[in-house]
């Protein structure tokens, strides 16, 4: 068990190291990404350019540059943006992280509750009109591009129906910190939460229904029924337990990716300056230090999520053990 | 295939898809014969005759400061059936042209993804050992990028640099770029199940028999493994298409996919973003086109999976 855990950790570290090297090489080699040209400004003379390059250590060999960058990111923690002079990378991410976390955590709660209800109701009433209806709604949910849905939602909540009783409480787009203004935080995020979760409710509801119905084919369900357990107990205690395995692993991976910045489209349309938006801006500006930091931040959550999922497996399904 | 033919929903989806593709293919005819406009030429000072009156395509704003202009709304006539965008171009014509590009990119990307995944999955699964280890680690690294961030990174890098593959140079406004990018980013998700399938096929009697008979590797790969893997890939195809239609729209919406003045459903939604409160149709209509296409593809995919391989599964990721 311990050996497996250590192997898992080593694998995770390797993946993050691989990503950092890959990203570093890609963006160093990209034309137009030359940081010296940006720092020196337009029309800088070759001498200035060379001086800047030397000052920032950009004339050193690539492995040294990589090592210096990583040391300033993790050890001295004073890595600076190449594009916005004086902008420190770590505080910038620390500022964006709560925004993304608020968005994704709220949406996560909604989509877990929503998809459990949809999946359980559809599986319990399978073949009925209600089941059909839920599955069609789910299908529509997963077929909508999230940024488009967000635009349409904005159209109604910010403009068309904003003056009616229904949406008059909706604040202008943007984020309110939870600590200073809890009510404003909630109001600002309700609409983005619902928008982001709709797609996942559709997806997870359909997945859960499918795996519940698959579980109904298993022998242990027949055994449970033969023991005379009520239909509700068979569904909730027996079928749901194994079906949750797929559900939990999907949730872990999606949640990790979203916290790491995968919600970039939702953040852009709702004007939330979270990690996804930050990564996107860093990439657009070809701002190498910020790109490295945000990408490592994102990959950390993906890697951590998949490790948590592995542990969740073992907890839910005694047949699965780490390092099998 | 006969089982698929009996699936009414899947057949309806197939018909709908054919209609969408046909409509998009007829885009030039629509622009020339019905809309009488060039959807790629900005038409800021243009006028259009509606019911005998000549109306400017971009109308001065009446409310507010009266400084800006608002493009004409839906006329429900041949010209500007659905109105115009900010540059006075016919929305309906651009929608059809955009659909052509969106569908073409999605189809190309899906093809690239399935071929690459088949190669990676079969090679990794069949040869095992060091090849498998290297490929698996590489996929792990790609896997740890949120898909949209990976696609965005690749787009930005490739748009900024001129990509050269042998003698061919791909310009930054080429449709091949988004095609290639979307083709690559989903490989980890498809190659894994293919590899798993190959691993179990490798233990099957007919492959063991072939190995025992001394059949060369190349022949085993092509004759025994590929046909079996192909049915998995066919099941993935419509779902990949659906994913890629959405992903293309997302990249173009962030203005790092299809480059203007070329249209795609994503770029039209982006054009419509600034008009969302005045002429919401510009953003809504291409979105509806995407929703319809993706629903049809998903229904078709479900039908295909039920008909061919009830156990195949693919994850849809989004953000």
The model's pTM is: 0.85
Q: Say whether A18 and B283 touch across the interface (CB within 8 A).
A: no
Structure tokens at B103: 């569908």
Q: How far is CA A166 from the centre of its chain?
A: 30
Nearest residue in chain B measured CA to CA from A157: B277
Phi first, then psi: what are they for B168, rounded to 5°?
Answer: -90, 130
The residues with which B56 forms a beta bridge, in sequence order, are B47
Three-class DSSP labels, B179-202: HHHHHHHCHHHHHHHHHHHHHHHH
pLDDT at B316: 42
Residues 6+ apart with CB under 8 A from A74: none
Residues 6+ apart with CB under 8 A from B286: B95, B98, B249, B265, B266, B268, B269, B272
Q: Per-residue pLDDT tens for B72-117? A: 767 666 667 777 777 777 888 888 888 999 999 999 999 999 999 9
In terms of C-beta density within 10 A (0-12 exposed, 13-18 middle, 19 or more buried), how is residue B251 classed? buried
pLDDT at B44: 66
Domain ranges of chain A: 16-76, 97-321
Q: Would you state the torsion angle of the CA atoms of residues A279, A285, A291, A294, taken in this order, to the nearest 10 degrees?
A: -20
Q: Which residue in A19, A254, A283 is closest to B317 by CB distance?
A: A254
From chain A, the residues in CB contact with B318 under 8 A are 142, 146, 199-200, 203
Nearest to B94 by CA among B111, B71, B70, B60: B71
Three-class DSSP labels, chain A: CHHHHHHHHHHHHHHHHHHHHHHHHHHHHCCCCCHHHHHHCCCCCHHHHHHHHHHCCCCCCHHHHHHHHHHHHHCCCCCECCCCCCCEHHHHHHHHHHHHHHHHHHHHHHHHHHHHHHHHHHHHCCCCHHHHHHHHHHHHHHCCCHHHHHHHHHHHHHHHCCCCCCCCCCCCCCCCCCCCCHHHHHHHHHHHHHHHHHHHHHHHHHHHHHHHHHHCCCHHHHHHHHCCCCHHHHHHHHHHHHHHHHHHHHHHHHHHHHHHHHCHHHHHHCCCCCHHHHHHHHHHCCCHHHHHHHHHHHHHHHHHHHHHHHHHHHHHCCCCCCCC
Residues 6+ apart with CB under 8 A from A35: A56, A58, A82, A288
Q: Say whether B254 and A280 touch across the interface (CB within 8 A).
A: yes
The ipTM, to two decimals, is 0.84
Distances (CA, A) of A239 to A122, A123, A201, A210, A231: 14, 10, 20, 11, 10
pLDDT in tens, chain A (324 residues): 677 778 778 888 888 888 888 888 888 777 666 667 666 666 777 777 787 777 777 778 888 888 888 888 888 888 888 777 778 888 899 989 999 999 999 999 999 999 999 999 999 888 889 999 999 999 999 999 999 999 899 888 887 787 777 777 878 888 888 888 888 888 889 999 999 999 899 999 998 998 888 888 888 888 888 888 888 888 888 888 878 888 888 888 889 889 988 889 999 999 899 999 999 988 888 888 888 899 888 888 888 888 888 777 766 666 655 444
A230: left (phi over 0), alpha (psi -120 to 50) or beta: beta
Residues 6+ apart with CB under 8 A from B304: B4, B10, B234, B235, B237, B238
Q: How far apart are CA B234 and CA A298, in angstroms?
A: 32
Q: How far apart are CA A23 and CA A17, in angstroms?
A: 10
Q: How far apart are CA B296 and CA B78, in angstroms?
A: 28
pLDDT at B72: 72
Q: How far apart are CA A296 and CA B11, in angstroms?
A: 45
For chain B, which residues score pLDDT lower than 50? 310, 312-319
> Any CB–CB contact under 8 A between B62 and chain A?
no
Nearest residue in chain B measured CA to CA from A257: B146
The residues with which A88 forms a beta bridge, in sequence order, are A80
DSSP chain B: -HHHHH-HHHHHHHHHHHHHHHHHHTHHHIIIIII-S-TTS--TT-EEEETTEEEESEEEP-STTS-SEEE-----SSTTTT-B-TT--BHHHHHHHHHHHHHHHHHHHHHHHHHHHHHHHHHHHHH-HHHHHHHHHHHHHHHTS-HHHHHHHHHHHHHHS-EEETTEEE-TT-THHHHHHHHHHTHHHHHHHHHHHHHHHHTSHHHHHHHHTT--HHHIIIIIIHHHHHHHHHHHHHHHHHHHHHHHHHHHHTTSSSPTTS--HHHHHHHHHTTTTT-THHHHHHHHHHHHHHHHHHHHHHHHHHHH-TT--------
Q: Say whether A19 and B249 touch across the interface (CB within 8 A).
A: no
Contact call for residues A255 and B109 (beta carbons, < 8 A) = no
pLDDT at A149: 93
Cα-only R_g, chain B: 23
Q: Per-residue pLDDT tens for B128-175? A: 788 888 888 888 888 777 788 888 888 888 877 766 665 666 676 778
Q: How far apart are CA A318 and CA B151, in angstroms?
A: 37
Location of structure tokens 């390059």: A53
From chain B, the residues in CB contact with A11 under 8 A are 140
Phi first, then psi: what are they for A33, rounded to 5°?
Answer: -95, -5
Q: Cβ of B15: how many Cβ atoms within 10 Å?
A: 11
Cα-only R_g, chain A: 24
Q: How far apart are CA B270 and CA B266, in angstroms?
A: 6
Structure tokens at B226: 């590929």
Contact call for residues B23 and B99 (beta carbons, < 8 A) = yes
Q: Say whether A143 and B148 touch across the interface (CB within 8 A).
A: no
Q: Say whether A264 and B140 touch across the interface (CB within 8 A).
A: no
Question: Class of the A97-321 domain?
Answer: mainly alpha
Q: Say whether A261 and B254 touch across the interface (CB within 8 A).
A: no
Q: How far apart are CA B85 and CA B94, in angstroms?
A: 9
Q: Say whether B153 and A26 touch across the interface (CB within 8 A).
A: yes
Q: How far apart are CA B131 and CA B128, in angstroms?
A: 6
Nearest to B275 by CA among B92, B31, B58, B43: B58
In Å, how far is B12's CA from the nearest CA of chain A? Answer: 14
Q: How far is CA A48 from the centre of its chain?
A: 42
Tell which B residues from 251 to 280 touch A, by Cβ distance under 8 Å.
Answer: 253-254, 256, 269, 272-273, 276-277, 280
Q: Say whether B249 and A145 touch across the interface (CB within 8 A).
A: yes
């Amino acid at each position: 068990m311990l050996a497996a855990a250590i192997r898992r950790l080593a694998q995770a570290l390797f993946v993050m190291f691989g990503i950092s090297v890959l990203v570093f090489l890609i963006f160093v080699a990209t034309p137009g990404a030359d940081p010296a040209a940006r720092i020196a400004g337009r029309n800088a003379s070759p001498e200035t350019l060379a001086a800047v390059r030397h000052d920032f250590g950009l004339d050193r060999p690539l492995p040294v540059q990589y090592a210096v960058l990583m040391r300033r990111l993790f050890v001295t923690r004073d890595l600076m943006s190449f594009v916005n002079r004086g902008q420190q990378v770590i505080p910038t991410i620390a500022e964006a992280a709560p925004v993304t976390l608020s968005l994704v955590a709220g949406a996560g709660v909604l989509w877990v509750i929503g998809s459990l209800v949809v999946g359980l109701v559809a599986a319990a009433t399978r073949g009925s009109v209600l089941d059909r209806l839920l599955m069609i709604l789910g299908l529509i949910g997963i077929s909508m591009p999230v940024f488009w849905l967000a635009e349409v939602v904005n159209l109604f909540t910010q403009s068309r129906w904003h003056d009616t009783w229904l949406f008059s409480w909706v604040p202008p787009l943007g984020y309110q910190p939870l600590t200073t203004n809890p009510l404003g935080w909630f109001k600002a995020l309700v609409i983005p939460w619902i928008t982001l979760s709709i797609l996942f409710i559709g997806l997870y509801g359909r997945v859960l229904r499918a795996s519940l119905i698959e579980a109904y084919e298993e022998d242990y369900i027949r055994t449970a029924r033969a023991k005379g357990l009520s239909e509700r107990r068979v569904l909730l205690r027996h079928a749901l337990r194994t079906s949750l395995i797929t559900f939990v692993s999907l949730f872990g991976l999606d949640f990790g990716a979203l916290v790491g910045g995968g919600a970039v489209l939702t953040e852009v349309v709702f004007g939330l300056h979270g990690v996804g938006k930050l990564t996107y801006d860093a990439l657009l500006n070809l701002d190498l230090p910020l790109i490295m930091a945000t990408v490592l931040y994102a990959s950390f959550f993906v890697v951590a999520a998949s490790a948590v999922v592995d542990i969740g497996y073992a907890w839910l399904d005694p047949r699965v053990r780490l390092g099998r | 295939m006969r089982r698929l033919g009996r699936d009414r929903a899947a057949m309806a989806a197939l018909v709908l898809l054919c209609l969408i593709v046909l409509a998009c293919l007829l885009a030039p005819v629509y622009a020339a014969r019905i809309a009488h406009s060039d959807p790629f030429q900005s038409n800021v000072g243009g006028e259009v005759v509606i019911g005998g009156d000549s109306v400017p395509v971009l109308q001065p704003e009446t409310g507010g400061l009266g400084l800006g202009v608002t493009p004409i709304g839906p006329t429900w006539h041949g010209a500007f059936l659905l109105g115009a965008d900010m540059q006075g171009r016919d929305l309906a014509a651009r929608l059809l042209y955009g659909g052509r590009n969106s569908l073409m990119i999605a189809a190309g990307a899906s093809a690239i993804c399935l071929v690459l995944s088949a190669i990676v999955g079969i090679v990794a699964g069949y040869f095992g050992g060091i090849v498998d280890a290297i490929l698996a680690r590489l996929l792990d690294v790609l896997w740890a990028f949120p898909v949209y961030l990976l696609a965005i990174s690749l787009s930005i890098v490739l748009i900024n640099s001129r990509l050269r593959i042998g003698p061919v140079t791909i310009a930054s406004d080429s449709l091949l770029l988004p095609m290639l990018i979307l083709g690559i980013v989903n490989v980890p998700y498809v190659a894994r199940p293919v590899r798993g399938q190959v691993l179990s096929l490798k233990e099957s009697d007919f492959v063991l028999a072939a190995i025992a008979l001394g059949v060369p590797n190349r022949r085993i790969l092509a004759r025994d493994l590929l046909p079996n893997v192909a049915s998995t890939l066919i099941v993935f195809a419509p779902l990949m298409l659906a994913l890629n239609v959405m992903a293309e729209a997302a990249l173009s919406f962030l203005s790092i996919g299809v480059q203007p003045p070329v249209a795609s459903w994503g770029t039209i939604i982006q054009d419509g973003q600034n008009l969302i409160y005045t002429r919401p149709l510009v953003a809504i209509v291409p979105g509806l086109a995407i929703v319809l296409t993706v629903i049809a593809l998903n229904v078709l995919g479900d039908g295909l999976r039920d008909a061919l391989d009830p156990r195949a599964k693919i994850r849809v990721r989004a953000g």
